Every structure is written in C-alpha cells, then in structure tokens.
C-alpha cells in the first residue's frame, strides 16, 4: 500500500485528480442524516426543551407557525388519524427557532 501512495505522490496533479476520482467510491465518507423520516409527535417530544406534551406541540408550534406545514401533516387530522412530522427537518427548525418560541407558555 505504501508503494502505491509513493507513486501517487510522484504523479502530476491532474493524474492525482483522476486517481482520486477512481478511488472515491472505496473511501470511507461521513454518514449523512436521512432527509425524510416521518414520525408521530411523540417521537419529536425529546427534541423540545422540557419535553413538551403532544397537545402543547400541536397548539404552540404546529398551529402557531404556518411554515411548519412544510415538514408536518395537518395539525387537526381528525379522529383516528395521527399527526406526522419529518423528524430531521423538524429538529433543525426547532433548533433554529428555539429563541423565538415561548417554551414556558401554559396550556389554556
């Protein structure tokens, strides 16, 4: 292996680029988070400060901010249906808006 590395070091830069492209699929890369992972509100609760109740999340996040429709289903789906949220996107949105949301607001 070290002989191969020595050969690569001695090659011109344009050839090194070709070698890098050839070896790219074999190199270990960072694991990416999934873009979509739809879960119910219960699985979102641990990512909210104070682990808010499902009803609190529904009322003060999903109802209060219309942009949440991009990563959640209807906050009032009807009897027998659950609310789904795209967990990776929801987590990023909550982290971004953590200072905007009043986390101490009581339930009515």
- What residue spans of 24-67 are helical by DSSP H? 41-44, 54-57
In-domain check, residue 89: yes
**What integer is the mean pLDDT of 64-73?**
92
The pLDDT value given to residue 56: 95
The pLDDT value given to residue 94: 94
In-domain check, residue 74: yes
In-domain check, residue 75: yes
Band (85; pLDDT cuts 50, 70, 90): very high
Total number of residues shown for the chain: 108
Helix (H, G, I), strand (E, B) or coil at 12: coil
Q: Which two tokens stand for residue 100?
A: 């905007």
In-domain check, residue 12: no
Distance in angstroms (rounded) separating the CA atoms of residues 10 and 101: 57
Distance in angstroms (rounded) separating the CA atoms of residues 6 and 104: 61
* pLDDT beyond 70 at 106: yes
Q: Name the average pLDDT for the chain.
A: 88
Residue 51, domain extent = 38-96
In-domain check, residue 59: yes
Domain tally, the chain: 1
* pLDDT beyond 80 at 83: yes
In-domain check, residue 1: no
The contacts of residue 94 (CB under 8 Å, 6+ apart) are: 47, 48, 61, 101
The pLDDT value given to residue 88: 92
The pLDDT value given to residue 87: 94
In-domain check, residue 7: no
Inter-CA distances, 13 with 5, 7, 24, 27, 90, Å: 14, 12, 16, 19, 43
pLDDT digits (tens, 9 = 90+) for 6-50: 888 888 888 888 888 888 887 777 777 667 899 999 999 999 998
Whether the model pTM is above 0.75: no
In-domain check, residue 28: no
């Amino acid at each position: 292996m070290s002989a191969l590395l020595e050969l690569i070091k001695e090659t011109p830069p344009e050839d090194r680029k070709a070698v890098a492209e050839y070896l790219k699929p074999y190199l270990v890369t960072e694991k990416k988070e999934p873009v979509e992972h739809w879960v119910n509100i219960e699985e979102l609760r641990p990512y909210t400060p104070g682990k808010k109740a499902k009803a609190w999340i529904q009322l003060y996040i999903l109802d209060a901010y219309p942009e949440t429709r991009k990563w959640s289903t209807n906050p009032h789906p009807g009897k027998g249906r659950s609310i789904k949220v795209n967990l990776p996107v929801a987590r990023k949105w909550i982290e971004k808006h953590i200072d905007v949301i009043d986390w101490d607001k009581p339930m009515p």
